[in-house]
Chain A
Amino acid sequence: MDLRINFSSGVPIYLQLMEQIKHAVDTGAIRGGEQLPTIRKIAEELTMNPNTVAKAYRELEREGVIDVRHGSGAYVAEPKTSSTKSAAIQKAAEALRQAIETGRTLGLSESELRRVFENEVSRLLDVATAARRRT
């Protein structure tokens, strides 16, 4: 698992770490049941704050991506029927294809479409994180 953190970006570091670990799980770089490096190991390798690594692990556990077993470390959770995930991705891709078609008939260029997409994703995610924080 190759972790890279951009410390000077405005994106919280624990979120970057969570995304990269999830990506590693999605791509199969680490598989269900495999052990993750210890908090201390990651903190040392990336020269970052161990409290921040701990926070990322806590959140990943809460989301069910990893299991933290006391005394023995953190493990990637066994995947729950991956077929439902790929079905979801196909459905989302279909909806996006339609949105892209609409944008093109309205005369938007590729870079404009990408910008719209990025903006909407970050806007929706902002709303989602804000809502989570409120609960």
Chain B
Amino acid sequence: MSDIIIATRDLSMSYGSKPAVRGLNLAVPRGSICGFLGRNGAGKTTTLKLLLGMLRRDAGDIRLFGEPMASEEAAIAARRRTAFVSEDKELYPFMTVSQMIRFTRPFFPTWRRDLEKKYLHLFRLPQEKPVPKLSKGMRTQLMLLLAMARGAELLIMDEPTSGLDPAVTEEIMEALADLVASDGTTIFFSSHQLAEVEQICDRVCLIDDGQAVIDGVLDELKSQYRRILLVFDGEAPKELAHFPGVDHVRRRGRTASLLAHADIDTVVDRTRQLGPRSVEVHPVTLKELFLDHVKGD
């Protein structure tokens, strides 16, 4: 039993001459909920498809459940233990909710009737309604139910809550928290909804331009990073950018804003030597981390 469920090393893949993933290193431990963040086109969906064996990598390694994805057999064995909810959420249009569940059930020997019942109840899905008559939220919840009741150890989702109202999103978050608490399932999902990621994820991975720029435990990131706001009598000095531990510096006239992630005390001491009028240290939100780490236009 490996404790790292998803591990990639120097994972790379290009569409023709256009690189989509460039040396990506990821590590998602068992039982965690990891939010996969990044701008549109940063390489999120490509990464998910590589993990699921839907695309072939050009270079690098993927390990799932500790096993290298070196052969087709290994990839198939890993996929048996993995459930996936895609972005487009396609279901057979001629089936009702209960027919869809009955149709899916026999494919999976590990099917969990208890989870099926629990999520049917939690999501209040109308069992006799045909799939095309379901709202978008209910369709997503049905897809999620089918994925979660499979009894998979790893659940991968591509933007599961995009375009859903807050009430449906909350129900989905509740189901995910419950699944992790009861079964220790590992969940890895891409999202643009920073609020939901902050609420439910214990880990985040932020990718930009095909590379991981942040990967870690969310609470630890919040403990590490600080925003340091400085006001000077004259123009903010240029030396600020070269301090070790400082990720970004924004200078605007007499003020400067630093994002730092290590040795905050040392950074503060060094900035004090430049003679600022005031120094303030603030915690950093996930949104600030996101905006400071993805490249601007």
Q: Which residues of A contact B (CB under 8 A)?
A: 7-15, 39-40, 43-44, 47-52, 55, 119, 122-123, 126-127, 129-130, 133
Contacts and interface: CB of A to CB of B under 8 A. Distances in A.
B281 A8 contact: no
Contact of B285 (A9, A52, A122): A9
Contact of B282 (A10, A39, A52, A130): A10
B177 A48 contact: yes
B10 interface: no
Contacts of A48: 177, 199-200
A44 B222 contact: no
B177 A126 contact: no
A126 B264 contact: yes
B198 to A, nearest CB: 4
B202 interface: yes
B287 to A, nearest CB: 7
A8 B289 CA distance: 12
Given A8-B287, A43-B177, A126-B226, A52 B219 contact: yes
Q: How large is the interface on B (under 10, 10 to 19, 20 to 34, 35 or more residues)?
A: 35 or more
Interface of B: 31-33, 170, 173-174, 177-178, 180-182, 194-195, 198-202, 218-220, 222-223, 225-226, 264-265, 280-288
Given A7-B198, A8-B195, A8-B198, A44 B178 contact: yes
Given A43-B177, A129-B223, 7 more contacts: A7-B199, A13-B198, A14-B219, A43-B178, A50-B181, A55-B219, A127-B265
A51 B202 contact: yes
Contacts of B177: 43-44, 47-50
B122 to A, nearest CB: 11
Nearest to A115: B280
A60 to B, nearest CB: 15
Most B CB contacts (10 A, CB to CB) among A10, A12, A43, A48 go to A10
Given A129-B223, A130-B264, A51 B180 contact: yes
The 9 closest A-B CB pairs, nearest first, are A10-B283, A12-B219, A50-B181, A40-B181, A7-B198, A49-B202, A51-B202, A7-B199, A12-B222
B284 A10 contact: yes
A52 B264 CA distance: 24
A11 B198 CA distance: 11
Contacts of A122: 281
A50 to B, nearest CB: 4
10 contacts: A7-B198, A8-B195, A8-B287, A40-B178, A44-B181, A47-B174, A47-B177, A47-B199, A119-B280, A119-B281
B223 A133 contact: yes
Contacts of B180: 43, 49-51
Nearest to A50: B181
A14 B33 CA distance: 15
B286 A8 contact: yes
Given A48-B199, A48-B200, A52-B202, A123 B281 contact: yes
A51 B287 contact: no
Contacts of A9: 283, 285
A56 B202 CA distance: 12
Contacts of B282: 10
A13 B221 CA distance: 11
Contact of B201 (A12, A15, A47, A49): A49
Most B CB contacts (10 A, CB to CB) among A8, A40, A50, A51 go to A51
Contact of A10 (B174, B222, B280): B222
Nearest to A10: B283
